[in-house]
Amino acid sequence: MDLLTLIKANIRRRKGTFISIIVLMFISSMALTLILSIDRSSAESYTEAFKNADCPDIMVMIREKNFTDDIRSSLNDSKLVDRFSITESVVTDSVRVGNYSTGNSWFLVQMKDNMRLVNSSCDGYEEKTPKLKKGEIYLSYGTKDKLKCNVGDRISCKTLSGEHDFTIKGFVEEPMVGASNIGWKVQFISDEDFDEYYVAGKLKNDDDHSGTGCLVGVYKSADSDMTSSEFAHALSVENNLIASAWGSITEDESRHYTNIYSDIIMGIMLAFILILVVVVLIVAGHSISASIEMDQTNLGILKAQGFTTARIRLIFMIQYMLAETIGALLGIIPAVPLIKVMTSLFDPISGYILDTRLALGETLLYLLGVFALSILFILFITRKIGQISPIRAISGGKREIYFDSRLTAPISGGALSASLALRQFTSAKRRYIASIVIAAILVFFMLMVNAIGDTIYSKNAVEMMGGEWHDLWISAQRNLTAEEIDDVTDTLKEYTEIKHKYFSRGTYLTVNDEKIYCLITPFPEELAVYEGRYPKYDNEVLITEIVAERLDVKIGDKVVIGKNDKREEFIVCGFFNSMNDTGVVVSVNNEGGERLGMPWFYSWGGFNLEDTSKLKEMQTALRNKLSPDIKVNFSDEGDSEMELYDNAVLAMKIVIYSFSLIFTLVAVSMVSSKAFSQEKTDIGIFKSQGFTSGKLRLQFAVRFLIVSVIGAVIGTVTGLLFINRLLSVLLKDIGITNFHANFTVIGVLIPIAVICICYFTFALFVSRKIKRVGIRQLVTE
């Protein structure tokens, strides 16, 4: 009963603190629930979709003629393989819907029975998937936003045998390569269309070109405990299936690519939220510490009445844990509708409908962890209660709480308010450490999210990360000659400087028996090399750090590269960034490609130009100069895949900024309320000397401005020093091992300004109490 009475009294007296802790935990718990639910949903929904579609462990895209009898026999005889399936397909060169197009290969196959059709509101699946009629197509869901298309739109697919038009009948779940960030796509057409176009395609196939191909699905044996990546590696040793293919994808890779954006964004968000939980602990710790300091008398009296230190600590513990528990449990409730909102952002990227169930178990587990941490933290903070002696109650309880500083900046007559604010800060620095840490953390995260945002939007940064930015590009249904490329270059140079030109062909080959994507380029100097140098000679290969780690090789080491039946030794000449194949990429120059049996063949190339104001004129000039079968296009629309990513990044920005604002508001309110309570007497004294409430409020707010500036500077410096490294680790999954953030002056100043303005404004708001309290009341406090 004694505990209950005291806890009730404390809560009544410190309502503000109690509510603040509830609010902070409410937000943290809500965000945590959201993130954990989406995280679990990504994993479970993918597994379910994968099972439902009976996807293989490895899917190999291969020309029929390369799928030799030897390979078939090897697969039949292999102990590693349980079974394999063969799906015939018509291969597209390019596809266009309205203004949007893609040059990535699509594999048009016959409709399957077990496909799930996404419903009209895009939040679930229809019970039945109607049969396709002639001229109709089901697209994988990841295509919908990427090509900005809808049911009923006309889609034009260019194949070797001609251009085929379809009407989009709907969007289906295709988990293997259905995500918007995977270039290949398996799309579904009617049996009639397939039979017609497949036969036509086969007739057009020659030695160099193939308009048809096989999708070979390989299933590992039931008793195998290998991962799909290990299985692919083992299979590469047994036969040439993967090395002879256009490409292949394992279940591990598919899962990785499919959920990559949600994983990264949720990873950053989870880190942010866990740090916010730490902020909650800091704020709670500060509050407890200040309460102990201010309540020395009462604590002494309690001790004099026979309360033990442990019992008093228990009162603090119950009080704060009660607030945390209430906030945490309340936070779970609004997360339920928010899960739907967040998954709707990721669904078009991942290509399947994410489950929107609450991950209650995981959330409670995390919250238990947070509570355990809180208990330890509170035990640590309240240890000083043991030092309070009952005699302190008799002697008035209070002890001096200032003077821990040697930084005594002079009080200046000219800038009296500012210098007094500085003195208040320097003489009680410890009181503001929590606020400084909070400001630093929030600025750090805001800066990081700005860096990601600015980098995503910047074309230079896209190139820095190994991506390509094309202002203008040319393409042909044949091999472009070196002379033709020179012609284009010369013509463009008449209008503007060419920043970069991208001509490459991509192919899968094996490097030390690992299947890896390879870019062959006649312009290796354009690659984003950050260590070593680009491949100058035909026996040099550039690799990413991810490949280096996977193969355990370094610059100067030798690797064996295999393509079809060729196996050649190459020397690693440097590291580069590439977003292709999420960073599992190597690159050789044109001569290196020839060594591997792949002669010059470039049918497409893009240019990044200094001045893009005369693109139309450049296009006209090139059309007049070049052979009519060479197409010249320029970008007048945003990249739709980037737009999808931008939306997710924007959502992350909004969440981090809004959470930061709420946390700043609550944290500053708590810290400043405590500061106000501790300084009531001083405020009264100043008032009695003739200071107006306005001057004192300003002085109070300036102090928090000083605190926020210090925190913001620490956060900014830490950010500038570590964000690149941190993001390199976080973004390694999408192939960025050497993140180079594009810190803009605005991007750096905005977080500082937001935090400083918030601290100042919120402190000014809290200090309104100064006006309400009379001097006598203050002085005789």
Binding string, 350-389, against other proteins, x = CB under 8 A?
----------------------------------------
Instruction: Kindly tell me which of 352 and 691 has the beta carbon lying closer to other proteins.
Output: 691
Which residues touch 297 (CB under 8 Å, ≥6 apart)? 392, 393, 396, 397, 398
> For residue 694, which amino acid is it?
G
Question: Quick check: 609 binds other proteins (CB under 8 A)?
Answer: no
Residue 768 touching other proteins (CB under 8 A): no
Q: Which stretch binds other proteins (CB under 8 A): 261-269, 316-324, 640-648, 689-697?
A: 689-697
**Distance between CA atoms of residues 324 and 20, nearest Å:** 10
Tell me which stretch binds other proteins (CB under 8 A): 262-270, 558-566, 630-638, 690-698: 690-698
CB of 432 to other proteins, least distance (A): 13
Q: Shortest Cβ distance from residue 274 to other proteins (Å)?
A: 36
CB of 44 to other proteins, least distance (A): 58
Length of the chain: 781
Choice between 416 and 757, CB closer to other proteins? 416
Tell me, by CB under 8 A, how many residues bind other proteins.
32
Minimum distance from CB of 388 to other proteins (Å)?
19
Q: How far is the CB of 296 from other proteins (least distance, A)?
A: 15
- Shortest spacing between CB 687 and other proteins, in angstroms: 7
**Residue located via tokens 């290509």:** 351
CB of 408 to other proteins, least distance (A): 8
Q: Which of helix, strand or coil describes residue 605?
A: strand
Q: Please identify which residue in 87, 693, 718, 724 interacts with other proteins, judged by CB under 8 A.
A: 693
Using CB under 8 A as the binding rule, whether residue 772 contacts other proteins is answered as no
Taking the least distance from each CB to other proteins, the nearer of 71 and 683 is 683
Q: Does 691 bind other proteins (CB under 8 A)?
A: yes
| Backbone region of residue 55 per phi and psi (left: phi > 0; alpha: psi in -120 to 50; beta: other values) | beta
Q: Which two tokens stand for residue 238?
A: 């047994």
Instruction: Please state, in angstroms and rounded to a whole number, the distance separating the CA atoms of residues 260 and 43.
Output: 11
C-beta of 435 vs 716, nearer to other proteins: 435
Q: Which is nearer to other proteins, 481 or 692 (CB)?
A: 692
685 counts as binding other proteins under rule CB under 8 A: yes
523 binds other proteins (CB under 8 A): no
Give Cβ neighbours of residue 302 (< 8 Å, ≥ 6 apart).
6, 312
CB of 638 or CB of 690, closer to other proteins: 690
Span from 30-38, 538-546, 575-583, 771-779 in contact with other proteins (CB under 8 A): 771-779
Q: How far is the CB of 708 from other proteins (least distance, A)?
A: 21
Reading the block at residue 177, the tokens are 């390569």
Residue 686 interacting with other proteins (CB under 8 A): yes
383 vs 776, beta carbon nearer other proteins: 776
Pair type for strands 566-577 and 540-543? parallel
> Beta strand 498-503 with 472-475: parallel, antiparallel or unpaired?
unpaired
559's tokens:
């690797």
Rounded to a whole number of angstroms, the CA Rg of the chain reads 32
Angle at 274 between CA 268 and CA 280, to 5 degrees: 140
Three-state secondary structure call for residue 250: strand
Strands (E), 579-630: 585-589, 604-609
CB of 776 to other proteins, least distance (A): 4
Nearest to 509 by CA among 199, 260, 236, 305: 236
**Shortest distance in whole angstroms from residue 781 CB to other proteins:** 10
Residue nearer to other proteins on the CB measure, 188 or 425: 425
Give, in degrees to the nearest 5, the angle at Cα 101 between 98 and 105: 140
> Residues 209, 383, 725, 771: which binds other proteins (CB under 8 A)?
771
Q: What distances in angstroms separate CA 303 from CA 190, 198, 316, 738, one per listed residue?
A: 84, 89, 15, 59
Is residue 284 a contact point for other proteins (CB under 8 A)?
Answer: no
Of 130-138, 209-217, 301-309, 676-684: span binding other proteins (CB under 8 A): 676-684
Distance of alpha carbon 29 from alpha carbon 650, whole angstroms: 22
Based on the shown chain and the rule CB under 8 A, indicate whether residue 779 belongs to the binding site for other proteins. yes
Map tokens 């052979």 to a residue. 627
- Considering beta carbons, is residue 223 or 400 the nearer one to other proteins? 400
Q: By the 8 A CB rule, do 309 and 71 touch?
A: no
Phi-psi region of 747 (alpha: psi -120 to 50; beta: other; left: phi over 0): alpha
**Residue 687 touching other proteins (CB under 8 A):** yes
**602 vs 506: CA distance, rounded Å:** 10
User: For other proteins, which is the closer residue by CB, 207 or 400?
Assistant: 400
Report the amino acid identity of residue 120: S
CB 678 → other proteins: shortest distance, Å? 10
Please report how close the Cβ of residue 700 comes to other proteins at its closest, in angstroms: 14
**Spatial distance between the Cα atoms of 453 and 461, rounded to a whole number of angstroms:** 11
Which of 242/778 has CB closer to other proteins?
Answer: 778
State which amino acid sits at residue 718.
T
Alpha helices by DSSP H, listed for 679-731, are 680-688, 693-730
Residue whose token pair is 């603040």: 20
The amino acid sitting at 187 is Q
- Residues within window 419-448 making contact with other proteins, judged by CB under 8 A: 420, 423-424, 427-428
Block residue for tokens 């952002």? 345
Q: Minimum distance between the CB of residue 698 and other proteins, rounded to whole angstroms?
A: 13
Nearer to other proteins, 402 or 765 (CB): 402
Nearer to other proteins, 151 or 775 (CB): 775
**Is position 395 an interface residue for other proteins (rule: CB under 8 A)?**
no
DSSP string, 499-524: EEEEE-EEEEEEETTEEEEEEEES-G
- Closer of 47 and 681 to other proteins (Cβ): 681
Map the footprint of other proteins across residues 36-95, applying CB under 8 A: none
* Contact assessment for residue 659 and residue 31, using Cβ atoms and an 8 Å cutoff: yes
Instruction: Round to whole Å and give the CA distance between 612 and 495.
Output: 9
* Minimum CB–partner distance for residue 288 and other proteins (Å): 23
Q: E strand or H helix at 562, and its extent?
A: strand 558-563
CB of 329 to other proteins, least distance (A): 41
- In the window 397-416, what residues touch other proteins (CB under 8 A)? 400, 402-403, 408, 411-414, 416
- The CA-atom distances, in angstroms, between 608 and each of 526, 588, 611, 672 are 11, 21, 9, 53
Shortest spacing between CB 327 and other proteins, in angstroms: 35
Q: Where on the chain is the footprint of other proteins (CB under 8 A)?
A: 400, 402-403, 408, 411-414, 416, 420, 423-424, 427-428, 681-682, 684-693, 695, 771, 774-776, 779
